[in-house]
A and B are shown apart, each in its own frame.
Chain A
Amino acid sequence: DIQMTQSPSTLSASVGDRVTITCRASQSISSWLAWYQQKPGKAPNLLIYKASSLESGVPSRFSGSGSGTEFTLTISSLQPDDFATYYCQQCDSSSPLTFGGGTKVEIK
């Protein structure tokens, strides 16, 4: 299986901060990575697919980059609605689809 490792596991930030979350894959997945946002009691919501493609309706302050084994999710200016847990997911079906352990973005 392809293991996905996210860092940090928890991040404390203030409104207006630039926030970066990292996701590392145990082997190359090219650009086949997705990012999700999950709020308490809710299902995850797709933010980005294919590493950097913004899902329709997702604010442009979210961006994704990377390829191979290292990827980042950046929130350019953190908004109150962005405090949530974020997950990465490797999309290569040659292996079981797997998620990172999550990054909780908390209010500082």
Chain B
Amino acid sequence: QVQLQESGPGLVKPSETLSLTCTVSGGSISRNYLNWIRQPAGKGLEWIGRIYSSGSTNYNPSLKSRVTMSVDTSKNQFSLKLSSVTAADTAVYYCARGPSYSDSSGGLFNWFDPWGQGTLVTVSS
């Protein structure tokens, strides 16, 4: 079955850029929505954004100015960059595939399955 695995530095200095990669195994990422979600310790879930396998992106407006996502279909990977990080960006970061449904009105509906195991990123000097 499809599995996702996040990788990247676990410690990032304030004002620097957080960079994570999600590697997908067990299936192609083509024709899929690919998402990043984060969860600060003891808190709820925040959707960061998604990228379609073609490269089109949608970001959460709350983070849009700092987020860049990219995809490499040849490696079956997609990536997240979050710039100018602060302690508030310390969280477990998850990647997740986004099953979707499109209706006749052009509406797009996404949920998340499966998820990677998550990786803790701490922002500290």
Q: Chain A interface (Cβ within 8 Å of chain B)? A: 1, 32, 34, 36, 42-46, 49-50, 55, 87, 89, 91-94, 96-102
Contact = CB atoms under 8 A, between A and B. Distances in A.
Contacts of A89: 45, 111-112
A42 B117 CA distance: 6
Contacts, number: 62
B45 A91 contact: no
Nearest to A35: B111
A36 B111 CA distance: 10
Q: Most chain-A CB neighbours within 10 Å: which of B94, B100, B109? A: B109
Contacts of B99: 49
* Size band of the interface chain B makes with A: 20 to 34
A4 to B, nearest CB: 10
A16 B100 CA distance: 34
A-side interface mostly: loop
B47 A93 contact: no
Contacts of B47: 96-99
Contact of B113 (A55, A96, A100, A102): A55
A102 B44 contact: yes
B26 interface: no
A92 B44 contact: no
B107 A44 contact: no
B12 to A, nearest CB: 21
Interface centre among B35, B46, B113, B118 (most CB of A within 10 A): B113
- Nearest 8 CB-CB pairings of A with B: A43-B115, A34-B111, A46-B113, A93-B108, A97-B47, A99-B45, A91-B109, A32-B109
A44 B45 contact: yes
A49 B115 contact: no
Contacts of A50: 101, 109
Contact of A99 (B44, B58, B62): B44
